[in-house]
């Protein structure tokens, strides 16, 4: 038993890794901040000047109504293009743009609906989500869209 313990100590001696310095990243990570890293006042000022997610329309919660109107108009334009006999782009390209247009507003609005601290933003975002859902449902029910070649 005594021999086993001696061998164990020798093995442990070689397995121990000695760290003498901390990387620059680790030392920066471990620093105690001297000032607040996040200021709500600065955030609000930035949001008001740039808009939420740097979307100019979202300088206030009322911007969601503008986004709803824009997505409705753009989606209708793309469906008209997809069903037009004189379409110049491939159908898959038009539907890809339509999907992108709808999802850009729906995904962002859904995120704001769930996570924004301001109830006015949450309510406006929820309304935008519902509008995009109804647009999708409307286009799903248009039979002539299903038979486009």
More confident residue, 70 or 31: 70
Q: What is the pLDDT of residue 30?
A: 73
Q: What is the pLDDT of residue 8?
A: 53
Q: What is the pLDDT of residue 81?
A: 94
Q: What is the pLDDT of residue 106?
A: 95
Give which of 120, 131, 103 is closest to 58, Cα–Cα.
120
Q: What is the pLDDT of residue 79?
A: 93
Distance CA 123, CA 113 (A): 7
More confident residue, 72 or 147: 72
Q: Are 47 and 117 in contact (CB under 8 A)?
A: no
Neighbours of 129 (CB within 10 A): 22
Q: What is the assigned CATH class of domain 2-146?
A: mainly alpha
Contacts of the segment 19-22: beta carbons below 8 A, 24+ positions apart: none
Domain ranges, ordered by start, for the chain: 2-146
Distance CA 67, CA 81 (A): 21
């Amino acid at each position: 038993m005594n021999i086993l313990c001696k061998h164990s100590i020798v093995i442990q001696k070689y397995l121990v890794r000695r760290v003498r310095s901390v990387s620059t990243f680790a030392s920066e990570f471990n620093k105690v901040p001297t000032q607040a890293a996040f200021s709500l006042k600065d955030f609000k000022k930035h949001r008001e000047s740039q808009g939420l997610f740097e979307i100019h329309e979202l300088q206030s919660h009322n911007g969601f109504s503008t986004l709803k109107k824009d997505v409705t108009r753009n989606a209708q334009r793309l469906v008209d293009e997809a069903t037009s006999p004189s379409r110049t782009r491939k159908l898959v390209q038009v539907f890809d743009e339509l999907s992108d247009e709808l999802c850009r507003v729906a995904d962002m609005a859904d995120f704001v609906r769930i996570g924004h601290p301001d109830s006015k933003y949450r309510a406006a975002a929820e309304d935008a989500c519902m509008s995009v859902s109804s647009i999708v449902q409307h286009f799903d029910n248009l039979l002539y869209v299903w038979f486009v070649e």
